[in-house]
A and B are shown apart, each in its own frame.
Chain A
Amino acid sequence: MSAPIISVRNLTKRFGDFTAVDQLAIDVVPSSIFAFLGANGSGKSTTIRMLIGLLRPTEGSIEVDGIDVIRHPRRVRDHIGYMGQKVSLYQGLSLRENVEFYAGLHGLAGRELEARWGALRERFRLSDAEAERPENLPAGIRQRAGLALATLHRPRVLFLDEPTAGVDVHSRSLFWELIREEADAGRTVFVTTHFLEEVDYCDWASFIDEGKLIANAAPEDLRRRYSEGYRVHIDGEPAQELTTPALDDAFFADELDPLLALRPGARVQIDTPSMTDVFRRVIAESAGTRHAQP
């Protein structure tokens, strides 16, 4: 396993008596999509603001792409792209002018800018929006434009804070395709989201509650641990129902395939445990653990 590109240890942030983030420890593998989940006020945004150097932690360490973010908060900014909850496009400037502005801050201009932006414009389907002002664009296009701007300088790590909030289902789906393409191209994506089902687009998921990390695993592992498992319904007389913690090779080879061999052409329906249920169970178990502590 390659060394983590984001490594956080003992990360704590207190505001007076209130502890927003408490002893957080996470590792993010390069070129992966890392989902950071939690309810409102759980500490997600505080964590992301510390990771990008906007907020100084009370204690702990943060390393992003080999840079100590606490000691060198400015140095990390050449390595990261960031898209906040509000897509940060300047109103009154056209999308093209916004592109030139942010490109200028990263030292991009001329042919290099044209080449990079030309490719992004096509891939993110922004050609028709280029001359428009952000205030005149639909939310979905603004989100795509925000993501395009965050990747324009080819950062090694992308931080996305609730990137799909307020966007319709179709646009969200397209947006996640683009995020997947970024990860496949070698970029690491650290993303927070309210939409728990979006975890399935991700390689890894961490749940945070009241500032504490309460679950940290691949989505499949979370389902295995925090749900009743997949329910597999096989039509026929009589209908049959199986439950499995994971849709792995062993399940297909040992259980499902032998049954289907006996019922050729039978319709199979698989109910995937919802990530919302997983999250509820994670929260409930975490609360139980906390209450059990003296």
Chain B
Amino acid sequence: MNLRRLWTLLVREARATWRNAFTMTILVAVPLAALMVFGFVLSTEVKKLRLGVHDASGTASSRRLVAELAAKGTFVPRSFATPGSLDHALMEGEISAAIVIPPDFDRRLREAAAGGAPAELQVLYDGGETVLAGNSEAFLRTLALSTVAELSTGARAQTMGGPAAPLRVSPPAAAPPVSGGVSVVSRALFNPKLDGSRFMVSGTFGFVLSFLTALITAVSIVSERLSGTFEQLQVTPATSLEILLGKILPLGAVFAVDVVLMVLAAGFLLGVWPEGSIVFFVIVSSFYVLTSLSLGLLISATSATAAEAVQKTVLFSIPLVQLSGFAFPIRNMPTPVRWLAEIFPATHYIRVSRAIYLRGEGPLSLLPELALLTFFTLVLVAVALRSIEGRA
């Protein structure tokens, strides 16, 4: 080996890499950003979760229970006047879990201390967010039981003047024990078995339709620009809208077929079918494909080569995986990051996908998300049209 030649090769490579701003960004910023995001933002840890509370008891004991839940830093309680409003907030994603304290909580607690039936707490969670649901339900159960154990010790001391009886803890998501100080009844609003494949399948549509469509469009248009056919198109009477639609509609049709195949494969091979309408899901997904295709067109507009387009699409897929809710619960992220996640069209599509797959929701309840997706699509199409005009 000739060290001088090797040195020459090393210097050239180092210079080329150092002077390529895009490569440097990928090499340095991406690992650091990924580390920060995984370390601080993405977490399945149950911390400061928004907890809905319907306290029908309104007694010192029930208030103490809520105060104890808040004191640990795990939950941030928010009161709801009715069980219905609690369910609604849970469905809307305003809260991550909920606890319902019955009107007779205090009395039952005292009766249990005297050997009667235990007081019953109801814990509600959204089974759609499988990991978060499992963790939060277990935390909530443990915290509630330990707090009520203390309360019940006090009640027993008041009633019998003796030591507290051992507390029975019911198993997660199962029938409550029938004796002891308290029983915790869990109820998942959706996906009661916390089936992870259902959660992942519905999210995978978002990942595939975002990443693959953007990649294919970006590479295809950059190739056309390089071969000169795109410029030739621009000097024909075809309008920018016609060129855009001529590009994305055939690709959109292919991906729409892909969606149908994926739904069927998930159904027949994994046993995961949408709880809601398959037709509605395919329509929404096909519409979302247009959003992603427009995004691909934008990536192509800023890429000089197909390789650059691929790099940019991969770069774009990192926040797509991390922040869109595909793999990590958005509810658990810090507020500014949650806001950031909201500007990704994928976040809204994945939300809609899960709503249809896990909760069987229809167009009416998903109207706000669909409106947002439409808005994003219109914005992206408008910018893509401008990039096609390309008149600097």
Contacts and interface: CB of A to CB of B under 8 A. Distances in A.
A242 interface: no
Interface string B366-392: 000000000000000000000000111
Given A74-B239, A78-B237, A80-B235, A54 B390 contact: yes
B232 A106 contact: no
A105 B235 contact: no
B165 to A, nearest CB: 80
B235 A56 contact: no
A10 interface: no
A77 B238 CA distance: 9
B227 A91 contact: yes
Nearest to B243: A105
Contacts of B233: 105
B229 A88 contact: yes
Contacts of B228: 84-88
Nearest to A146: B232
Given A86-B227, A88-B227, A91-B227, A55 B235 contact: no
Nearest to A78: B237
Interface in B8-26: none
A89 B229 contact: yes
Given A88-B229, A90-B229, A91-B227, A82 B237 contact: no
Contacts of A15: 392
B45 interface: no
A99 interface: no
B234 A54 contact: yes
Contact of A84 (B232, B236, B238, B392): B232
A184 B326 CA distance: 65
Nearest to B236: A105
B239 A54 contact: no
A55 B391 CA distance: 5
A55 B238 CA distance: 17
A82 B237 CA distance: 12
A277 to B, nearest CB: 33
Contact of A56 (B227, B234, B237, B391): B391
A124 interface: no
Nearest to A87: B228
Contact of A77 (B229, B237, B391, B392): B237
A84 B231 contact: yes
Interface in B184-242: 227-229, 231-239
B235 A77 contact: yes
B391 to A, nearest CB: 5
Interface residues of B, number: 15
Contacts of B238: 105
* Interface size classification for chain A: 20 to 34
Contacts of A107: 237
Contacts of A53: 235, 391
B236 A106 contact: yes
A52 B236 contact: no
Interface in B234-274: 234-239
A108 to B, nearest CB: 11
Contacts of B391: 53-56, 73
Contacts of B229: 88-90
A85 B226 CA distance: 11
A214 B321 CA distance: 57
A230 interface: no
Given A84-B231, A86-B227, A55 B236 contact: no
A55 B227 contact: no
A102 interface: yes
Interface in A50-83: 52-56, 73-74, 77-78, 80, 82
A88 B231 contact: yes
Nearest to B389: A73
Contacts of B390: 54
Interface of A: 15, 52-56, 73-74, 77-78, 80, 82, 84-91, 102, 105-107
Interface of B: 227-229, 231-239, 390-392
Given A82-B235, A106-B237, 12 more contacts: A52-B235, A53-B235, A54-B390, A55-B392, A56-B391, A74-B239, A77-B237, A84-B231, A88-B227, A105-B236, A106-B236, A107-B237
The 3 A-B pairs with the shortest beta carbon distances in the complex, nearest first, are A86-B228, A88-B232, A105-B236
22 contacts: A52-B235, A54-B234, A54-B235, A54-B390, A54-B391, A55-B392, A56-B392, A73-B391, A74-B237, A77-B235, A80-B235, A84-B228, A84-B231, A85-B228, A87-B228, A88-B227, A88-B228, A88-B229, A89-B229, A105-B236, A105-B238, A107-B237
